[in-house]
Structure 1
Amino acid sequence: MSEDRIQARVIEDRRLRLLIDAVVDYAIYMIDPDGIITSWNAGARRFKGYEEAEILGQHFSRFYTDEDRRAGLPQRALDTAIREGRFEGEGWRVRKDGTHFWSHVVIDPIYDPSGTLLGFAKITRDLTDRKMAEETLKQSEQQFRLLVQSVTDYAIYMLAPDGRVTNWNLGAQRIKGYLPEEVIGQHFSMFYTPEDKASGLPGRALEIATREGRFENKGWRVRKDGTRFLAHVVVDPIWGDTGTLLGFAKITRDITEATQAQQALEQTREALFQAQKMQAIGQLSGGIAHDFNNLLTVILGNLEIVRKRLADDPKIVRLLDNATQGALRGVSLTQRMLAFARKQELKSEPVELPALVQGISGLLRSSLGPSVALETRFPERIEPVLADINQLELAMLNLATNARDAMPDGGKIVISARVETISDPLRAGRYVCLSITDTGDGMDEATLASAMDPFFTTKGLGKGTGLGLSMVHGFIEQLGGRFILKSQKNQGTTAELWLPVASEDSIAAPLAEEPATPEVPRLCILVVDDDSLVLTSTCLLLEDLGHQVITATSGAQGLEVFENNMGIDLVITDMAMPQMSGAQLAQAIRERNPDMPIILATGYAERLEGFAARLPRLSKPFTQLNLVEIIASAM
């Protein structure tokens, strides 16, 4: 070989050496026929960690794991390269610092022109990142398969492009009733009703999913046993990287119970809305009837006195009788209005609260939704309360709905009860305090002060009537209990229903026959009414009976008159008066004179507490005969 060719060969070898040494992503080195390392590039140095001086002359097996060396893998790699002309594989290798990396290895044998083996060229690539990514993906796929298989509330399965079922999870097995071997390979239209299959709905579902990228609807499906269930269905197409349709992912949820619960809830809400509306109209009617009764009391009272004094003139008596008949028609009208106001008549009976709450717990939970937890806390033994079951259930549903609305992001509602004894003279007795506590937004002082006012609402236009809390308040008050709201901003709200404990004599005994009306001596009677016309009419009727009458236009004035007149024999007071009601006036008078006879006059049915409930009541409008009878009873 000429010197120029030798020089060119040296230059070429040097360039090749520089090229190989410049590669840093691959370990490229030579080993002799016995596996001894004879060269070492920068890539090998970078990810195996050895400098050239410390690795040349070493056996290449030092890069293998102990297990692979014991298994003879290094020598088998060389033998394969010699036998097949090439060895290629992947496996764990060991760096200088002892850490492992996943490598892709190629070993090529090198022969001289005469066929003598000179050694091997070995190229190693670090694929650790790819290996870890594959392991992560594999683990993720395994976890996903486990997740899908573990879901029991949803039927999750795959369809081939032609609609045949290709896999089947536990949820599908539970909801539809088929085992995997019974359904895989079958067309998914087997789950549809005969009428849906006849209309071509299964095929249209796949066509829409393919065309629009998704199909979703609700409809009836058929289980293995032939029963039907209402299903919410989603079908998504699955496309390959090349745009080929691989099949469909199908998710089915049984929404039968949820739909039925929603329908029941809507019916209950409608009933609640109607009850609230009727309550508002009833309050309005009751108020109008009360004021109208005051007017009729005046009219009838004056007509009665005039008729007595002009009884000798037939023409005037006829006119008075005609006017009286007209007034009595007004009485009939007010009675119908009051009957309407009391249309939701309470049927009070002993109620076991734990059993009542348990009975409506399903409805409560469905109305609250999955984001709101419901918890009940009752003592082991709790006395029954006196209440109307239907109205109490509606009140609790209304309060629970309010609590849910105050927790838009979810929370917890706790229903609890405790027994309390109240010593307040007007509400003395044993009560069960039924509490409904939420973890919602709460109310500030201004909102809390107005919360029970009719038509007050914070839910926005069209989202609430503002009658719910006022209805609950009226219902509880009518039972003889109390409704208390406690709340602070951002600290939740507690609604307390104080319900009277049912006593042994909850069922009223039959009324004894009243004795004949006795003669009543001339009395000194204090009459209290804030309506001057009613006050004057009542005085005229009493004076016509021969009684001495003292008048007062308010509860406070009446109490002052009573204290300054020791000769008063009887008190007749209007019930509905501002500042001091008739019941409060009666209580104050009884504190000063426990034996003083007191009559309460009222224009509509009012529930009284304590001793006031036992006082004689004079319903407006009243006649002179009514006065005679009630005075005789009171005396």
Structure 2
Amino acid sequence: MHIAHHPMFVLLSSMTACLGSWTALDLFRRVRAHRGAWRGGWLFAAAVAMGLSIWSMHFIAMLGFDPGAEVRYDVGLTVLSLLLAIAATAFAFFFASREGTTRLVVSGVVMGAGICLMHYTGMAAVMTQATLRNDPLFVFAAFVVAVTASSGALVAAKQEHTLSQRALAAVVLGSAVVGMHYTAMFGVRLIDGAATNRIAGGMDAMTLAIAIAGGTFFILFLALIAALSDRRFEALAAREALRSEQLLRAVIEHLPMGVFVAAAPSGDIRFANAEAARLLGHTVGPEPVWSRSADVGAVREDGSHLPERDHALYQAMQENRRIGPRLQAYRRGDGRVVQLEVTAAPVPDRKGNSTLAVVAFQDVTEKLRAEKEARRQAELQRVNELLEERVASALAEKAEVQAALNHAQRLESLGRLTGGVAHDFNNLLTVVIGALDVILRQPAQSERAVRLGDAALAAARRGERLTAQLLTFARRQPLRPEACDLNDLLRVGEPLFRGAAGQQRLVKLVLCSEPAVALIDPAQFEGALLNLIVNAADASAENGEIAIETAIVTGAPTLGGGRFFRLRVTDTGTGMSEEVMKQIFDPFFTTKGPGKGTGLGLSQVYGFVKQSGGEITVDSEEGAGASFSVYLPLTDQGAQEKPSQTPTAWTHIKPMNVLLVEDDAAVATITEAMLHNLGHQVFRAENAARALEILDVEKSVDLLLSDIVMPGSLNGLELAQRAVQLRPELQVLLSSGYTGAEVEEALAGGAWPFLKKPYVEYELAEHLVRVARNKRDAVVDQ
């Protein structure tokens, strides 16, 4: 026969199961929201609540169980049934708290099995004289009901749901417990038989009722704690959510780009920051961005309104993906069209549904303009570089053409120079050769020989000056500056200047009264002035006038401030045109006829002035004469006394053994004769190598007299250095007609005295005396 249950206890047991399930599932929801010790605490509380609810429901229902005999309960099995319910529920909740479908299935099976195990353990605790049997079919049905309902309840508990959904999950789980119990009890069979004596031991129904009341009270206590905690946690969560929302709004509000949030899929604006309104030039209303009026909003390149389907926000919501960044033209509230860089993206919730979309944008108009300008500048730079290359190439070609033209002009000038210099040197050589020829043919006429010798010497001196001019034009003749009073030089040279101008021309010499001391080469200065006077005389008629004026001035036309000596040579000649004045200082340029000039005079003047740190200017008109002004910087030094150029007698020195090194045989012969006349013994060498050999053999050599420019691997300067290393006591005297810049720099140090070619015997004697001063015992006063 079937077992009967009292309806009141059926209702009470169902309510207990649902209340316990609500409490357990609510506590289980907190398990998933916590970590660490709190997680374990809430897990234990949920397991206890669920286990107690299952146990209480079972034994409340058993209170309404009437098998027709006295019923008592085994205490040990009763407690064991409670522990089994709690343990099975704890495992199921723990396993289900992690993500995964498999975990949910396993947890549902374990919880259903735990409910069944608790039920049949509780049934085993029943002590009665009646015989009870369980139908296997209903046992299986009870297990299926328990597992199915438990799995559904766990799935519902893991989802975010409303209060009604949470209540439904509690009812489903409670129904699983109740359904399993009464399904199992429906399968209990009572075997007929008369009841006999009372059952000893166990726990009676009253004691069980008290235990059930305590368990139910504990369930209600946990439910109260959960409810209070739920309110507290929800309040904290609400405040935290509000604080997070306010913080997020503040961050978005202060972003340096426009941002607005729109509802999907309508496009209605829910929020827009201040930067969005500033960039768009108008307030952002709730309507979608594509529903703006034609006066404002996104536009195409032609200025027409942008269709809804082409908006980045619309596409992001429709395609549920991020769109951009991309450029979008926008007509602002003030009518100005700007370029915006726009990015739109949907905002999915935890379920993956997109109910919102966010749009971020910034004004890149100036950036695009700057990039365009940078590209334009880069293109201009490229064009400029190309033009520079072409200009450089053209200039190089022009320079090559100019060089070729200059070469051709120099060749032409050299042709003119050949005639002029050949003419001058032939005249000089005619005097020298003619005089020497007469002297050699008539050696007895001593008076006539002296006169002719003087003429030959004067001609040679003119040749020396011409050579000096040629070197000065090429800037290869070194100047020997001295502190000279230029007015004194003019006074001393006045007869020479008047002679150069010619007797028929009037020469006016007007000198300033102030001292005019400058660092110049006096010989070059006299030569420059002679060139200016000769040019003035050539340009003037026989009765013309030449004025030589000096003055102390402050500043020069292109040299700036400072005190300068100005020498002005003015004539009343034919004057010059502008074209001629542009070329007068060019080497080899001349307006004189063939054979009448070399074109080197004014170039020599120009070279001397520039080398002396000065400046020369010219002022002339055709038919109005010419005026040349030479500016030379003054010095604070006193003028040096110029030594006499005409020897009367010189200091004699003890005879020396002189090693003469000269590659020119004729020069060597003359120099050797001079040295013999001065009483010295001479050893001759034609190059440096032979000189070193003699030095190695002849230990008696006192003086090395060497030319500087010589063939071979060593020049005279290098020979002197080697010789002094071999013979530190050896005296050295160097000589040359031209030394070059490097040798001049070496000689400027004053290591050894220097004798300039050409020279005469008294000049050689003076230099030998200077050398001998280094050895005081060699000098003999007479």
| Greater Rg over alpha carbons, structure | 2
Q: Which has the higher contact order (CA 8 A, sep 6+)?
A: 1
TM-score by structure 2 length? 0.26
TM-score by structure 1 length? 0.31
